[in-house]
Amino acid sequence: MAHLSAKFGLPVLLVAVCRNRRTASWAAGPFECRVGTWTTQVTRPFVLGPDNVPEITDESLVAREPAMATFSAIVHSESENAPAILGMLARGMRSFDKATAKYWCEWLEVGLENTPVRETWRELEKMVATYFPGRGTLFEETYLEGKAEGKAEGKAEGKAEATLRVLEKRGIPVPEEIRDRITSCTDLDTLTQWFDRSLTATAAEDLFVEE
C-alpha cells in the first residue's frame, strides 16, 4: 500500500465486497502486521456488504450509478430477490453505450463467481452483450455462437434450462407437464418471454398467463 501511495500520490483504500454478513464483519478488521511487539502496519478495509449496501430496485438508478448498482447485485447475489435485481440491472444497462455496457456486464459476471445466479446473469447478459474479443467472456461467446451451426437450437435449450433454474432457485415448484412444455419449446422469443416472467412469477403457471 505504501508503494501504491508513493507511486500515485493518493491515499490507498482496500475495498472488500462480501455477500455474507459474517464474512463482512470479519473483513472489516483491523488486521495488524507485527514483528515481535512492533506493529508495522494496521489495515482497515472498506467493506461493502448486505448491511451497508442497499438492494437496488430502481431501474433509473442503474444509468445514474452503474458502479453502485453492480456492487449491489454482487453483494445481494445470495438474496431471494437476486434474480429480480439482475433482471432490473440488465434492463437498465440497455441505456449504456457499448463500451460501458461491456465493462459493467463483464465486471458483474466475474464478481458473481460461482454463485447460483451467475448463470442467470449470463442469460440476461445476452440482452446487452456484443462482441468483445480476446477475453473469453460471454460477449465473445455470444459472437461466436452466431457463427456456429445449431445456434438457434442451442440458445433455446439454454434459455429453457435458465428458466427452470430461476424457478428452482426461487423455490417455485414446477409440475412435470410444465417442465416438458418449457424444455420442448424451440421458439426463442417465447422462451425469452417465459424467462423474463420467471423472475417475478409466484407460480410456474404464471409463465403462460397471457396464453
pLDDT in tens, 108-124: 888 888 888 888 888 88
Please report whether residue 210 resides in a domain. no
pLDDT band at 25 (very low <50, low <70, confident <90, very high): very high
Q: What is the pTM of this model?
A: 0.57
Q: Please tell me the predicted confidence (pLDDT) of residue 134.
A: 44
pLDDT higher than 90, residue 26: yes
Q: Note whether 94 and 183 are same-domain residues.
A: yes
Residue 105 near residue 125, CB atoms below 8 Å: yes
Contact status, residue 172 vs residue 86, Cβ threshold 8 Å: no
Provide the number of structural domains found in the chain: 2
Whether residue 96 sits in one domain with residue 41: no
User: Looking at the structure, do residues 89 and 132 belong to the same domain, yes or no?
Assistant: yes
Q: Which domain holds residue 73?
A: 59-201
Q: Check pLDDT > 70 for residue 188.
A: yes
Which of 127, 136, 130, 196 shows the shortest CA–CA distance to 166?
196
122-165 per-position pLDDT tens digit: 888 877 764 344 444 555 555 455 555 455 667 788 888 888 98
With respect to residue 4, please indicate whether it lies within any of the assigned structural domains: no
Please report the pLDDT score of residue 74 as a whole number. Answer: 92
All cell numbers assigned to 104: 459493467
Contact 83, 195 (CB under 8 A): no
Residues with Cβ < 8 Å from 167, sequence gap 6 or more? 174, 198, 201, 204
